[in-house]
A and B are shown apart, each in its own frame.
Chain A
Amino acid sequence: MFTVRLMKSGVEFEVGRGETVLEAAERAGIFLSYSCRGGTCRSCMAKVLVGQVEHDPEYVDELSIDRAELADGYRLLCSAFALSDAELDR
Chain B
Amino acid sequence: MAKVMPATRKTNENARVETSSAFLKRCYVVERQLMRTLAAWFVDTSQWDVKRKLAEDMWEASRHADLLRTRILELRYPRRDVDKKYDADVIAFTKEMAKATNSQEFVAGIYGVVLPELVQAYSDYLERTDHLDDAPTVYALRHIIADKQRQIGQMQALTSQVYTDTESDVEGWQDYLHQYLGSIGGYLGADDKSPRPDKHVNAGRSGYSVGRSVKRDARWRPSYYHLPHENKYDVEGRKAWQRIEGLDKRVAMQVWSAISHFNEIWAAEVVAASIWDLDEQPWDFYLDLARWSWDEVRHSTMGYRALEGWGWDVPDLIPWGYGLYNAFGPMPPIQRLALLYYYEEGLLRSGTKQIELKILESAQDDGSSQDMDFDWADEAIHVGYGFRWLRHLLGDDNAGQSELKRLTDEAREHIAEIVKQRKEEPEAKLEPYFTRLYDVVAAMIHEIPDDGLDIKWAPVVADESVLEEL
Contacts and interface: CB of A to CB of B under 8 A. Distances in A.
Contact of A40 (B349, B354, B380, B398): B380
A40 B288 CA distance: 14
B350 A33 contact: yes
B401 interface: yes
A10 B391 CA distance: 35
Interface residues of A, number: 15
A42 to B, nearest CB: 6
A31 interface: yes
Interface in B375-401: 376-377, 379-381, 383-384, 387-388, 391, 396, 398, 401
A41 B383 CA distance: 5
A41 B391 contact: no
Given A33-B350, A42-B348, A68 B401 contact: yes
Given A33-B351, A35-B376, A66-B396, A41 B401 contact: no
A35 B387 contact: no
Contact of A64 (B349, B350, B383): B383
B361 to A, nearest CB: 15
Contacts of B345: 41-42
A55 B459 CA distance: 34
A68 B395 CA distance: 13
A31 B387 CA distance: 25
Given A35-B377, A35-B380, A43 B351 contact: yes
Chain A facing B: main interface SS: loop
For this complex, into which size category does the number of interface residues on chain B fall?
A: 20 to 34
A41 B381 CA distance: 6
Interface in A50-90: 64, 66-68
Contacts of A36: 377, 380-381, 384
A33 B384 contact: no
Nearest to A43: B348
B427 to A, nearest CB: 34
B232 interface: no
Contacts of A4: none
Nearest to B381: A40
Interface string B339-362: 000000100111101100000000
Contacts of B387: 40, 42, 64
A15 interface: no
Contacts of A41: 345, 348, 379-381, 383-384
Interface in A20-37: 31-36
A41 B346 CA distance: 10
A45 interface: yes
14 contacts: A31-B354, A33-B351, A35-B379, A36-B377, A36-B380, A36-B384, A40-B380, A41-B348, A41-B381, A41-B383, A41-B384, A42-B345, A43-B349, A66-B391
Q: Which 10 pairs, one residue from A and one from B, show the smallest C-beta to C-beta distance?
A: A33-B351, A41-B380, A35-B380, A40-B384, A36-B380, A43-B348, A64-B387, A41-B383, A35-B348, A43-B349
Given A35-B354, A35-B379, A43-B349, 17 more contacts: A33-B349, A33-B351, A33-B354, A35-B383, A36-B380, A36-B381, A40-B381, A40-B383, A40-B384, A41-B380, A41-B381, A41-B384, A42-B345, A45-B349, A66-B396, A67-B396, A68-B398
